[in-house]
Amino acid sequence: MSKLLEFVNEYIENMEFILEDHYSDVLKPLKDDIKKELANFISIKDLIEEDEEIILKFNTLLNSKWKDKYLNLVAISDHLTECKLKYEAYKLDSINKDFSKEELKFELDKELMDLKILLDIYVYNNSMKDLYNKRIERFLEKLK
């Protein structure tokens, strides 16, 4: 469990304790606000737990066959080709009567998500975090 999640859990416990009539007369007028704050922190806790679960799954991927940089590049190349084909099928949906536009879009989205995961693995395995951050900065500069 991360330090952030530990903090959020402790905060939630304290807020619940306060709401169980362990609060002073000074806090009574704030009871509804405390309930709202508690609900916000419970939502934050759920998001943190989801993120931590995703990180654990990603670490499992990093320690699997995807450590092989060549295999990773071959898979990226394959998914680039698949993305192009699915995009063309999506654009020309009037030609393809077997699938609806929504089904074609979903197939394209799946390929794009697979490609993103493979690219994330590639960036991580090749220690490209600095380059990634520089490219993000470049995109931010172009927004100005």
Please say if the pLDDT value at position 26 is more than 80: no
* Cβ count near 92 (within 10 Å): 10
The model's pTM: 0.65
pLDDT, position 36: 83
Domain layout of the chain by residue ranges: 3-58, 65-143
Q: What is the pLDDT of residues 48-91, one digit of tens each?
A: 888 888 888 988 988 899 889 899 999 999 999 999 998 888 88
Query: Which tops the pLDDT comparison, 31 or 108?
Result: 108
Which phi and psi angles does 21 have, rounded to 5°?
65, 25
Please say if the pLDDT value at position 114 is more than 90: yes
Q: Counting beta carbons within 10 angstroms of the beta carbon of residue 115, is it exposed (0 to 12), middle (13 to 18) or buried (19 or more)? A: middle
Q: pLDDT-derived band of residue 24, with 50, 70 and 90 as boundaries?
A: low
Please say if the pLDDT value at position 23 is more than 80: no
What is the mean pLDDT of the segment spanning 104-113? 92
DSSP-H helix ranges across 63-100: 69-91
